[in-house]
Amino acid sequence: MKWDWSAVGDFMPHFWDGLLVTLQALVLGSLISFALGLVWALLMRTPSRWVRWPVGVVTEFIRNTPLLVQLFFLFYVLPEWNITFSAMTTGVVAIGLHYSTYTMQVYRAGIEGVPAGQWEAATALNLPMTRTWTAVILPQAIRRVVPALGNYVISMLKDTPLLMAITVLDMLGEARLFSQQNFQFTEPLTVIGVAFILISYPASLLMRALERRLVR
């Protein structure tokens, strides 16, 4: 096995470009999944089963099918319907949508974990519905689920290389381009592999620490 440090040096500028794209996709994808997941979770609590049932089926479907195929779906089908996004936007939307079906369950657990007394107190104080949710239930529910959401951000990070399949130049995309141009596969792929571990391991330690602090 031969290891060529000059190839690592040549790859580094591309690596930083790719890292930036990966982090952008991660941040935007997380924001979409946090927001959309909350929407799904709240919709699942509406009294009408005509809302709960379709939302349940759709989210179950999205959760149980591969993100890669969903990416292809959005990337190739939307243009046929005359909706054109850039590859990056498509990727961010797909990741956000996919993970929103996971965060939805996290929110649900958080909401169900709020003690019954809190609901009753809100009723006793005659708080309107919106205020019960925004001032009483959600602040307590979300505080508890922050570490679990963080864990999904880490898994989302590990799914961002899939964006390469729809031509986004994230870390893996840059590595592949570099390898094909220079015929050096070992160095760029190892560099990004190590980079992923270096990002995700401290992040998972952070989430464990948060879990001890926030969840009691």
Partner 1 sequence: MTSGLWELVLKGIWVTVQLLVFSALLAAAVSFVVGIARTHRLWIVRFLAGFYTEVFRGTSALIMIFWVFFVLPPAFGWQLVPMWAGTLALGLTYGAYGSEIVRGALNSVDPAQREGGIALSFSPWQRLRLILLPQAVPEMIPPFSNLLIELLKGTALVSVMGMGDLAFSGNLVRLALQESAEIYTYILLIYFVIAFLLTRVMRGLEKKLKAGLGRVPEGGGKKLPAPRPETTAVGAEAAGGR
Interface contacts to partner 1, rule CB under 8 A: 1, 45-47, 61, 64-70, 72-73, 76-77, 80-81, 112-113, 115-116, 119-120, 122-123, 129, 132-133, 137, 157-162, 164-165, 172, 175-176, 179, 185-186, 189-190, 192-193, 196-197, 200-201, 204
> Smallest gap, in angstroms, from Cβ of residue 119 to partner 1?
3
> Smallest gap, in angstroms, from Cβ of residue 216 to partner 1?
15
Nearer to partner 1, 48 or 212 (CB): 48
Amino acid residing at 22: T
* Half-sphere exposure of residue 24: CA atoms within 13 angstroms, side-chain side: 14
- Whole-angstrom CA distances from 148 to 2, 56, 59, 107, 215 are 41, 21, 19, 9, 10
Q: Which residues contact 78 (CB under 8 A, 6 or more apart)?
A: 84, 85, 90
Nearer to partner 1, 37 or 188 (CB): 188
> Smallest gap, in angstroms, from Cβ of residue 42 to partner 1?
10
Counting every residue written for the chain, the total comes to 216
> Smallest gap, in angstroms, from Cβ of residue 74 to partner 1?
9
> Smallest gap, in angstroms, from Cβ of residue 1 to partner 1?
4
Task: Specify whether the CB–CB gap between 11 and 18 falls below 8 A.
Answer: no
Which one-letter DSSP state was computed for residue 66? -
Nearer to partner 1, 85 or 196 (CB): 196
Nearer to partner 1, 4 or 16 (CB): 4
Tokens of residue 192, six digits: 């990004």
